[in-house]
Amino acid sequence: MTHKKVLVADRIAKEGIDVLRDKGYDVDVKLDLTEDELAAQIAPYDAIVVRSATPVTRRVIEAAENLKIIGRAGVGVDTIDLDAATERGVIVCNAPTSNIMSAAEHTMALMLACARQLPQANASMHEGKWERSKFLGKELYEKTLAIFGLGRIGGLVAERARAFGMKIIGHDPYCSPERADQLGVELFERVEDVLARADFITVHLPKTPETIGMFGPEEFAAMKDGVVLINAARGGIYNVKSLSDFVAAGKIFAAGIDMFEEEPCTGSPLHEFDNVLLTPHLGASTHEAQVRAGVQIAEYVSSGLEGSIVPTALNMTLVPPEMMDAVGPYVPACQMMGRILAQILGCIPKTLRVEAAGTIANADASILVAGALDGILAYRRAGSVTPVNVESVAVRHGIKVDTASIADADEYASAVKVVADGVEVGATLFGSMQRPRIMSLLDYKIDIAPAKQSLVFEYVDAPGRIGAIGTLLGNEGVNITTMQIGTKPSEKTALVYMNVEGSVNDQLLEKLSSTLDFKNVWSFSL
Ligand SMILES: NC(=O)c1ccc[n+]([C@@H]2O[C@H](COP(=O)([O-])OP(=O)(O)OC[C@H]3O[C@@H](n4cnc5c(N)ncnc54)[C@H](O)[C@@H]3O)[C@@H](O)[C@H]2O)c1
Ligand SMILES: O=C(O)[C@H](O)COP(=O)(O)O
């Protein structure tokens, strides 16, 4: 009998490797492979386990003929090409709670070390000096700590900082007021309001296009003189060049940096300063975190290889066969509807209702809710929403969820409707590939297979509107590939859903809105 093969490409705890071997897998540990070497050797493996040192690139994934699952023994998956994995049907999962306590404790260690100048004092002692007056520090007590990103690690840091008597403020557009209250954090909507108030600032954000470079010259200038800055999240959230300029100018008392844009990092402008405490990505480097990460990822990888639920799958939700048969094909449709609602609402909704109708009316709706919530939160979260974490994710974001079973799906065999803060979208599946098709939007009846990019217009119905939209888009080089019109005769309004190709930007949307008198115009990227 041939055994499934697992490649462990980064250092993980022996306990994790033991779990994989005990389950009967052939486990090879090959460390420090280059991309070329990994691409050349990956073909026979069913699974690969990595940390942050070994990127799993598109090239590696495309060379992986048997790969079913990529396991990240830790939190961040920014070194894994999620799109390439999803395209190839390869599950990507992580161990998102394994090292958060260690990362939070490392953050506190950096804060205290910065505040009391411990590295400088230690270096001075090792040089045989006794310089008591040189190292005058700051207390944490009664200082204001600003936390950017109030997720798992940000929350743990808030709890710990409270024990030091700090006042805690924060910014996280996706954190509910209830969670902020629970954590004792005063939330601010605007970044600049937080910057001006903080004595200490720590970031616990994922690496996204929004967060990379989130702190540049303007933000540093808006901070208090003598601020202490910590980054144990991802390199580049503080722009390194401008951070070093502000350290050089004496604006910043100290900085504690655990993460770098390029790793390994053995030289940077920050290396010049004694009051910048640098650690080589050590947030998760504790015995306890490594055992947890190794064992958890081994269990999840095994679940994936055996076809069971992988609770932390980031790019797909695996469900048991009986559930999958009934509602599984609706998961992508629910994710798509969630993404549409997120783009209409522009914020996380307070209420979410999922109605399953027709032949799926009596199936377990948790997977549909998970799909819808996953879509709504898709742009913001590091993790995915699955039936396993759906309840806690909803509570964490302050979303009240309810579900309904409707026996009759009108002219369809089955359908799902998702309503967020009163905004409705419905979909059914069509064809042998069971592709999602939107059948209603904002209670307008339509019937369209959504493309990657679409424009939606709601307006008071009158002759010539579609022609005018078409002419304007044509003039701007935007091609309409399909469209559907829905009307509400009683309100004398209409909605047109257009799949489009070409460059749709804010200027074009503004031009459309100002030239033609619409009730609403939306651009969706799916
Ligand atoms: N130093 C280490 O070794 C180490 C260890 C573990 C995790 N990490 C990193 O720490 C970071 C946080 O991890 P986590 O597990 O707490 O993640 P998380 O997903 O639980 O929390 C991230 C939070 O950031 C918020 N957020 C997203 N975009 C935002 C924005 N533009 N502005 C404000 N808030 C925003 C999200 O709403 C969320 O609450 C990640 O980058 C992770 O990779 C580092
Ligand atoms: O995202 C993470 O889990 C941390 O950054 C730790 O990364 P590591 O496993 O490479 O130490």
Q: Which residues of 314-351 are buried (b: 16+ CB within 10 A; e: fewer)?
A: bbbbbbeeeeeebbbbbbbbbbbbbbbbbbbeeebbee
Pocket test for ligand 1, best of 153, 297, 397 (most atoms within 8 A of CB): 153
Going by alpha carbons, the residue nearest to atom 39 of ligand 1 is 151
Q: How far apart are the CA of 76 and the centre of ligand 2, in A?
A: 6
Candidate from 75-79, 181-185, 392-396, 481-485 with smallest mean pLDDT: 392-396
As a whole number of Å, the CA-based R_g of the chain is 26
- Are 118 and 329 in contact by the 8 Å Cβ rule? The answer is no
Query: Residue 234: CB within 6 Å of ligand 1?
Result: yes
The fold of the 451-526 domain, in CATH, is: Alpha-Beta Plaits (3.30.70)
Q: Is the dihedral of CA 78, 83, 85, 86 positive or negative?
A: positive
Query: Residue 263: CB within 6 Å of ligand 1?
Result: no
For 5-98+289-315, the fitting CATH number among 3.40.50.360, 3.40.50.720, 3.30.70.141, 3.90.1010.10 is 3.40.50.720
What confidence score (pLDDT) does residue 317 get?
52
What confidence score (pLDDT) does residue 363 get?
80
Going by alpha carbons, the residue nearest to atom 25 of ligand 1 is 149
Percent over 70 (pLDDT), the chain: 95
What confidence score (pLDDT) does residue 356 get?
94
What confidence score (pLDDT) does residue 504 get?
86
pLDDT value at 298 more than 70: yes
- Are 77 and 55 in contact by the 8 Å Cβ rule? The answer is no
Query: Residue 390: CB within 6 Å of ligand 1?
Result: no
What confidence score (pLDDT) does residue 381 get?
58
Nearest atom (ligand 1) to Cα of 232:
1
Query: Which tokens hold the place of 431?
Result: 């064809």
**Active-site residue, 263 included:** yes
Q: What mean pLDDT is reported for the chain?
A: 92
Query: Residue 235: CB within 6 Å of ligand 2?
Result: no
Query: Residue 290: CB within 6 Å of ligand 2?
Result: no
Q: How far apart are CA 49 and CA 56, in angstroms?
A: 10
Q: How far apart are the CA of 106 and the centre of ligand 2, in A?
A: 12
Q: How far apart are the CA of 51 and the centre of ligand 2, in A?
A: 6
What confidence score (pLDDT) does residue 308 get?
67
Nearest atom (ligand 1) to Cα of 149:
24
3-class DSSP assignment, residue 200: strand
pLDDT value at 25 more than 70: yes
Q: How far apart are CA 453 and CA 169, in angstroms?
A: 38
Query: Residue 237: CB within 6 Å of ligand 1?
Result: no
pLDDT digits (tens, 9 = 90+) for 90-105: 889 999 989 999 999 9
Domain residues of the chain, as ranges?
Answer: 5-98+289-315, 100-278, 319-441, 451-526
Q: How far apart are the CA of 286 and the centre of ligand 2, in A?
A: 11
Task: Mention every residue, 6+ apart, whose C-beta is less than 8 A from residue 232.
Answer: 103, 106, 107, 110, 153, 202, 204, 256, 258, 259, 283
Judge whether 5-98+289-315 and 100-278 match in fold. yes
In the CATH hierarchy, which top-level class contains the domain 319-441? alpha beta
Query: Residue 281: CB within 6 Å of ligand 2?
Result: yes
In the CATH hierarchy, which top-level class contains the domain 100-278? alpha beta
pLDDT value at 319 more than 60: no
